[in-house]
Amino acid sequence: MSGRLVAVVGPSGAGKDTLMEAARAALAGDPGFAFLRRVVTRPADAGGEDHIAATPESFAAMREAGEFALSWEAHGLLYGVPRAPLEAVLAVGGTAVANLSRAVLPEASARFPLRVLEITAPLPLRAERLASRGRESLEEVTRRLARQAPLPAGLDVETVVNDRSLDEGVARVLAGLRAA
């Protein structure tokens, strides 16, 4: 395996999805980068990231069949990174980019060459972004903002603070991805 997995992490409301979609568009012509779509037990039309929708039952069947390189549960949903596309990118020396949970980073680090791209933003800005989504109640937003586990020690981490314009945020993310 000669490629690298870049795990994108960050607290809710940091702007990960927006920045990653813009970075995906900017790197669309670069064969060295692949942005992996997660399988999520969320409807396809729920908004946010471009994901592969699954029911809890179909997700469990995929996990049992070994179709995920990594899988976890967070915020009442199940998430999985499909094995085949990740392994294909790594086999040819490419950089695979995936939105991961902090909780799965130790496993990812043990199994793949890993770099972590942490995207964050100041708490008031994150609260404003979450409230504007309209997907959760104020109580749910408050609980989501209170959750943030520290990054595991010993990882190769690049931190991007997303507190300026979209263009500046995207430039910072692209620099972090290219440095991987």
The verdict on whether residue 16 carries a ligand-binding annotation is yes
Q: Is 93 annotated as a binding residue?
A: no
Tell whether residue 66 is among the known ligand binding residues: no
Please, what is the Cα angle at 51 between 49 and 52, to 5 degrees? Answer: 165
To the question of whether residue 13 is assigned a binding role by annotation, the answer is: yes
| Residue 37, Ramachandran bin (φ over 0: left; ψ between -120 and 50: alpha; else beta) | beta
The amino acid at 139 = E
| 80 closest CA partner among 115, 117, 46, 107 | 107
Is 17 annotated for ligand binding?
yes
Give kind and range of the element (H or E) at residue 69.
strand 68-74
124 is in an annotated binding site: no
Binding residues for ATP: 10-17
Binding residues: 10-17
